[in-house]
Structure 1
Amino acid sequence: AIRILQGMFQGVVFPCLHELWTHWAPRSERTHLVLTALDGIQMGTVNALCLGELLVEFVSWESVFYIFGIFGCIWCFFWGRTIKDRPEEDQSISQAEKEFILQSLDDVEGQSKHPWRAILTSSAVFACAVVNFCQIWGSNTILTKLPSFLKENFNYEVAPSAFISTLPYLATTIALKIAGSQADRLTGLCTTTQVRRNFTCASFIAQVILMLAGALVLNAIQTSILMSLAVAMRALGWAGYIVNLLDLSPRSAGVMMGLVGSVGTIADITSPLVTGLLTPNNTVEEWNGLFLITAGIFLVGCFVFWFLDSGELKPWSIEKREQDKNSESSSINDFSTNL
């Protein structure tokens, strides 16, 4: 029951972050800022793996929950004191910075309702949901089954080596720093659609190549490095489809992230189950079949995103804004007439 509640509370984090970036991230720095926030997740995982192992070994297993729980409470305190919904409410930034942010943002004020029908029937939103499912499926397959794969094929134990366990997350951290800045730089040279498509599809193709290469080599260390690099390449995809929701409709980015994340949760649940069914005996043939299926899922996501995605502001986002403004004007006129 506690784990269910934990998952429910964690589920709102990414939609809330997208809602926050709607008011804070200028278009010219959008990808860099979003990926910087995601970078914190990777470093948090690295610290948790290293510190958690030390706490279990030298203190007790209960101390892991107490220590990280205390850290969470401290973070909540500073988050509540520091973070503001909008730049206008933040007294800690300069007037020049505030004006720069406000002038660089898309118009996101005044929407009373989200255009649900348009969102649910949008090919671009569908494409983002599909690639998120594919990405989570692939990442989970590599991250959760890599230790078993190394043990069964190379008789190599990952658990004693904290460095090997954290390698995928450290590699992702480096990739995030590069992908964010480069995507924003290229946005000034190419269309937003081209940038989002190229980064997402390059990410998926790179993951397929590195994952299959890691499955074919006959050395545990080389396999670990190649698989870690495959996981790191998801950073390129995040610079594409995750940020893409802010391009489509800044006003509805939060709810769209919630929908896309919900689809990804299906992969979270089903990927370990299917992986277990496909590798009952942990033979080389079973593992190769699993990696080939995962590669196929990546390629399907790549194909769908390339042909269905768009990086431009959607007409239904603009239309909804105009409808809201017209509705407000009509209400004011009716009120004036009654007076």
Structure 2
Amino acid sequence: DKPEDDPHISTEELKYLRDNLDCGPNDSIPKHVVYPWDEFVTSMPVWAIVVAHTCTNYGFVSLVIVMPMYMRDTYNYWLDRTGFLSSLPYLLMAVLMPVAGTLADWLRNSEVLTTTQVRKTFICSTFIIQAILILLARNLNSVNGTLVCLVLALGLSAFAWAAFSVNHLDIAPQHASVLMGFSNTFASILAFLSPSIIIYFIRDGWQYTFYIIIAVHLFAALFYWAFASGERQRWAPPAPTPESESLSLPQRSNVI
């Protein structure tokens, strides 16, 4: 299938796809792409995405594992027997994800914030709020209060996902799929290891497990704030087109 075969595609969107995928009008698939791996692994904005993705995955998986165990051991509250409460974090994420995406688009399109500012604000504020909620959950002596804090901490991951999952497209649209695979590799490895990390530290008490999750979130917030970018990188220029030979194309497009 070709983009031009879509009856609903706009001229602007078709031009955007051709520019970034290096497809000509008669091409059914993109031409061979040489991926600049040396630029990938030395780019701090790329590593900022990797850190955000990895720490989000680790925090989410860890809290999903810890929450029912902690509620059971501390309050004798069997969360896994109450299906609705167990699903609350996922329901909250399902509600907040489109809200976060719409809000991010509005902030950018209205020029309230730049793309970089939107990504940094969403991710860093989410990580900091999550760290505070996890700390409160650890120190509260209330079943309901602890449950609310943990559910909110999990649900707010939607704002982080709405930022870093599209950040690849911001910095290198034509390499976004490869960069997503790159960051997801690290994220999946740490998420896979999180149960073993929890089991190791839980022997010394719940506080260490919670403090590690908090530290991971705070580290990710600091790293992302320092190195993230929402601007197209110099090593990912728009693909040359016939029009670009006589006309200088804008570096960024508003079409998504």
TM (norm. structure 2) is 0.84
Q: Which amino acid aligns with 1:238?
A: W
Partner of residue 149 from structure 2, selected from 207, 221, 226? 226
Match of 1:312 in 2: 231
> Does the alignment pair 1:108 with 2:20?
yes
Within 2, Cα distance between the matches of 1:104 and 1:233? Answer: 32
Partner of residue 115 from structure 2, selected from 189, 192, 200? 192
More helix by share: 1
Within 1, Cα distance between the matches of 2:237 and 2:135? Answer: 44
Aligned residues, how many? 231
SS of the equivalent of 2:149 reads: helix
Within 2, Cα distance between the matches of 1:174 and 1:236? Answer: 11
How far does residue 246 in structure 1 lie from its aligned partner after superposition? 0.5
How far does residue 98 in structure 1 lie from its aligned partner after superposition? 2.9
How far does residue 106 in structure 1 lie from its aligned partner after superposition? 7.9
How far does residue 292 in structure 1 lie from its aligned partner after superposition? 1.3
Within 2, Cα distance between the matches of 1:244 and 1:130? Answer: 12
Within 2, Cα distance between the matches of 1:120 and 1:104? Answer: 26
Within 1, Cα distance between the matches of 2:18 and 2:84? Answer: 43
Within 1, Cα distance between the matches of 2:159 and 2:18? Answer: 24
> Does the alignment pair 1:276 with 2:199?
yes
Match of 1:300 in 2: 219
Within 2, Cα distance between the matches of 1:278 and 1:109? Answer: 47
Q: Which amino acid aligns with 2:21?
A: E
Partner of residue 239 from structure 1, selected from 162, 181, 205? 162
How far does residue 100 in structure 1 lie from its aligned partner after superposition? 4.7
Q: Deviations over 1:103-145 (max 9, x none)?
A: 5658213262121211121111111111111111111111111
> Does the alignment pair 1:99 with 2:11?
yes
Where does structure 1 differ by over 6 angstroms across 4 or more consecutive aligned residues? none
Partner of residue 95 from structure 2, selected from 142, 155, 174? 174
Bigger drift between 221-230 and 246-255 goes to: 221-230
Match of 2:43 in 1: 122
> Does the alignment pair 1:153 with 2:74?
yes
Task: State the percentage of identical aligned residues.
Answer: 30
User: Any residues of structure 2 matched to 1:57-76 within 5 Å, and which?
Assistant: none
How far does residue 296 in structure 1 lie from its aligned partner after superposition? 0.8
Q: Which amino acid aligns with 2:194?
A: S
SS of the equivalent of 2:80 reads: coil
How far does residue 218 in structure 1 lie from its aligned partner after superposition? 1.7
In structure 2, list runs of 5 or more residues that go unmatched.
23-30, 243-256
In structure 1, list runs of 5 or more residues that go unmatched.
1-83, 326-339
> Are residues 106 and 242 of structure 1, via their aligned partners in 2, closer, same or farther at CA, if it must alter by over 3 Å?
farther
Within 1, Cα distance between the matches of 2:174 and 2:105? Answer: 21
Q: Which amino acid aligns with 1:177?
A: P
Q: Is the 8 A contact 1:87 1:101 kept in 2?
A: no
SS of the equivalent of 1:113 reads: coil
Q: Deviations over 1:38-81 (max 9, x none)?
A: xxxxxxxxxxxxxxxxxxxxxxxxxxxxxxxxxxxxxxxxxxxx
Within 2, Cα distance between the matches of 1:89 and 1:263? Answer: 37
Q: Which amino acid aligns with 1:138?
A: G
Match of 1:201 in 2: 124
